[in-house]
Chain A
């Protein structure tokens, strides 16, 4: 009897063990990569309290796709490596792929700028395309514009400055006109006046 049940139990246990990891499928696996002190740090996690234990990280050249190195996360979901020489000489960014088990995969890129293998690009001028009316920006220093992009930015700023009172006027005209409060109030007036009229009429009759 015992002999015939044992394999069945063992089989069930094996099945349960196999089925259990699939419960984790509901979790997104995340890979966040950044550069700290000349090292590329990969943070691999399901959540703050559940890190990826011994997940595989494959590092490729973001431009050519060539594999540069691979490694494994520690118990805290961390994997780090120095900026690869190949990326430095090519001036390319990196693509990191995390394989944390069947169906658990994610990617992240670290740009060449972040790696510091190419000079950082000038941050693009933010164009606030909204209905908000910003106060007039401080006047820009009267230095000669370095290039066309800077010139375009200056023109954009100047136009925005000139347009802002117009936008404000437009916004104000949209606000005019009877709102719900005025309409209900108006109805109140009508009722009130009728009341006064009714009172007058009743007094005349007496």
Chain B
């Protein structure tokens, strides 16, 4: 009898391991990563909640907050949100027009998402930073989210192969030993994971909450630093943990050959 139980356990473990390989990502992806010309000033942003490498979607209910911070000033962009359907699931499209030179940090605070498979809520506070018209000061420092990745590498116009460094803050303090999950946005289905573990890359923050990562190929890459919130949310009368993610998206570019 013992062996029978063992074999069933073995089976269950294999199934469980396979389903745990998916990483959730809050996503905020603009239609261009930098604005150079006035003709590029109208930005459209996709707000998603998906498994970006596998391209599997989940429903993103209307976010609690969507806006932009530049020069320490916050502008609410909730009014621009339009419902969309991405990968068969609810998503949102936002818009903004950049009028002056500056560095614009777009952010989204979604509603906590109940994930029965992990018996917890997931809430990813998501940022993306877009510079405009030649200005490149103003990406340094936090914007004041409960948890966030503060870039130490300029978070735009990087080549694939550059090291990307960031510091994870939780309640404004560095978060040591935090797992940062990294995934490629496989929008065009260009890449497949070399094995199941490769779906998500993982790096831990050091004692100062700092991590580094080198994107192996060009494209949009997302960093999700995961902490358990100090507050719980009730689900069917029971207190449940909240996985709070500090998410940052940035595009790494392939080099362009010079004309010679």
Contact = CB atoms under 8 A, between A and B. Distances in A.
Contacts of B86: 132-133
A195 B83 CA distance: 49
B190 interface: no
A181 B137 contact: no
Given A30-B101, A135-B83, A180 B3 contact: no
Nearest to B16: A188
Contacts, number: 96
Nearest to A109: B38
A180 B18 contact: yes
Interface stretch (A4-12, A14-22, A45-53, A145-153): A45-53
Given A172-B88, A181-B21, A184-B196, A195 B3 contact: yes
A198 B10 CA distance: 14
Contact of B10 (A134, A179, A195): A195
Interface in B99-143: 99-102, 133-138
Of the four ranges (under 10, 10 to 19, 20 to 34, 35 or more), the interface on chain A belongs to: 35 or more
A143 to B, nearest CB: 23
B238 interface: no
Contacts of B101: 30, 32, 43, 45
Contacts of A171: 87-88
A135 B11 contact: no
Contacts of B231: none
B14 interface: yes
A193 to B, nearest CB: 8
A73 to B, nearest CB: 14
Contacts of A70: none
Interface of B: 3-4, 6-8, 10-11, 13-15, 17-19, 21, 38, 46, 54, 71, 83-88, 99-102, 133-138, 187-188, 193, 196, 199
16 contacts: A32-B134, A43-B100, A132-B85, A134-B84, A171-B87, A180-B21, A180-B196, A185-B14, A187-B14, A191-B14, A192-B7, A192-B10, A195-B8, A195-B10, A196-B7, A199-B4
Given A131-B187, A188-B10, 19 more contacts: A43-B101, A48-B135, A106-B134, A131-B188, A132-B84, A133-B85, A135-B85, A171-B87, A181-B18, A181-B21, A184-B17, A184-B18, A185-B14, A188-B11, A188-B14, A192-B8, A192-B14, A195-B11, A198-B7
List the 5 closest pairs (A to B, CB-CB), nearest first: A195-B7, A188-B14, A30-B134, A192-B11, A184-B18
Interface of A: 28, 30, 32, 34, 43, 45, 47-49, 106, 111, 114, 131-135, 168, 171-172, 179-181, 184-185, 187-189, 191-192, 194-196, 198-199, 202
